[in-house]
Every structure is written in structure tokens, then in C-alpha cells.
Amino acid sequence: MSSYAWILKVRPGYEEEYKHRHDELWPEMDAALRASGLKSYHIFRHGLDLFGYFETDNLQTTIDFLKDDPVNAKWSEYMAPIMEVDIDSSTGFPFLLPKQWSLDQ
């Protein structure tokens, strides 16, 4: 299992709407995330900055699944007006942060 992180932004004034939409995450979106292989997926917010952390056994399988999933496409369209998303053109996925250090048990 490998861990990954990303940083995105909420558009100003949409902080509560972002939280509301995730509090009421569509069951089919939850199912798609799980089917993609995501584990321990967490999103944190500081001001307008979002920090996402997740684990997966195979990053490419996860990316390929989500890139082709119609539910994920619909969710992305739903979220687009309230977020600033910077996509890595080589993966079709948000830019992933390189791990700098880890305290493992």
C-alpha cells in the first residue's frame, strides 16, 4: 500500500458548500471511490486550501478507473463551479505531491 497527497482550492465563498456536498456524498460516488482501490481517503481544509491524502495498492489502476468512471465524471462536473482544480495532463488526475518524509510505525 502506497500513500499519496494532493492540494486543490475551494473558490472563495464556497467553503460551506464544499463541506455540505461532501457531507452528502452520493452513495454511487462513495462506491466508485472504493471500487477504484482508494483506501484511507481523507480531505482536510485550511482556509481555501484543500489537502487530500489517500492510499492505494496501485495508483495507475486507481487513476484509470476514476478517469473512465461516469459517476466520477458527473461528480467532477458538479464540483467544478466551486473548486479550482489543477490537473496533471500526463495522468488526467490532480498533481500528486512527492513524499518528503514519513514516520512509520
List 20, 22, 42, 46, catalytic entry: 22
Which of 92, 10, 4 minimizes the C-alpha distance to 50? 10
Work out whether the CA dihedral 84, 79, 18, 53 comes out positive or negative.
Answer: negative
Q: Quick check: is 42 catalytic?
A: no
Please give the positions annotated as active site: 22
